[in-house]
Structure 1
């Protein structure tokens, strides 16, 4: 009863503190009461993977209120970022949102560590997960302050990072039944055996199994990863005009299938230096298909326009959770495959170096000495 009164009072306070926010039954509200938050602090709401602001407001009397549309914004990771009047970033706070209910955030802006979403199991799990790496912070600081040479530091640092990832994976297995945990699991499933993925999947409740992410994980479990020397695995995805394209549409031609994303710097470098060159030189002998692992169409479109992807460019907008990427064993970006006219995967290229290995292998297929 006490929690209900606390909720009700906080909602009333926040709803009255910002006059330009209209109530709308189609909106979800984020209600903030943060001690020590100065008046006129700019608060911006964004969703992970999208640079566009969802909403913004200014704080007043240590309170703020933000809104997003129920039917437009999907469940996922959100960011609240606080700025001074001059535009300097003060603090960024992430939380799991998108559920069909209002969110209440409170805490102390001076300490910041205790800023949290009230009465939210999924966000309690997220908060605990975020501190998993902290126990290694002092050791990592000591490492970089030591007199060891840079190569030795890098090797030790990598070991710490590998240990942190193992701890994070263990945490996910111990806390499987939240939407955040399931979503985060996709970051690591390339490092986890299919048997272990099945154990994780079986630990989910029925609602999570029936969710979009649950269905994607099931598809990964049922899928078989392709190997070099095998026939390509067909798939379909949409181009930016909304037209479906299948890989099999191009059987009979030599194909470069390239996986990329807007956040991958080296993907854009490779696009500019290598694929543009190959597309021009071998335009009658080669089809380049860029498969985006972005999640937002606007982000994908802007990146395409900025970096001039002038060949086939498709996506299912599922990000790293895409079953197609899983089938093809995509771990790092850029990640490309050379497919011959018979549809057989001939070579795999992970990362990008300036000496064009793809062209050398392409010349072999074209019988160019």
Structure 2
């Protein structure tokens, strides 16, 4: 069943008997692993484990010179004492699959703006030219980073460790958010990828936190939307598949069969057509036309019109993917989506921000 981030995480942690496979992100592991809702995965049963990208299997260096946030490798390997770390073992907590490098998108059809040339920073989210038409994603382990990176880039606050903010830093971010909501700069937030598509289409939004499927969907609808490539770097995330704790015998075998099929290329090609990457890219290449591979993974101009996963025209000939190639984008990470030490405090403050924005929207409609 499809659920938003928050609901899926709650279901995974509190109702592990209700599912067999959990499809989420590495930054959610701290919660579901803590509750022992999932069981270790044997890498010996993953047929192409040795072909997997190093992006998730080892700790690298981000745009800042060090990797901030919940880099997948830091909680990938299951240790003998059942803790998670980057020390390789024969068991993993989550099978690395789909991933991407996110920022924000701008509807350039409404303004005379070259996003690649004129929009160089996360601080653009705070630019007064977008007043009232700015939205963030409603997920504290994601949206809080977008806002904090914008505030830091604009010189409005400083943080010691972007991936693990202190109570005082979260509190400072919260007060900035309250001001931005009360002033009308921030529009109500969104949870599902379809929401910004509709809100860009009807003119409610001009700039927003964005996920790649939303960008592709808007392009398919003829909207002139461009994702920014901030100099500070992307907010990266890495998805994966987990085994529910109750799986055993035949049902466990079926889950492993699903894992191996998912990595074999066809699923990755579907994901590529909506802007996502797969952790076994060489397998994906065999299921994409050369022109698709060149656009989505190599960052080359589209040699012809390209389809979305439902075979609708999405990418026009001559377009170049924002940020360039997979290699270039993967080396430009500012922070990984994270569950901070002070996550509970962040969630409480974040929910207050969301409630404030929602309340303001209701009052505006009533008036």
Please identify which structure carries the higher strand content.
1
Give the TM-score taking structure 1 as reference length: 0.24
Larger radius of gyration: 1
Give the TM-score taking structure 2 as reference length: 0.24
| Greater relative contact order (Cα < 8 A, sep 6+) | 2
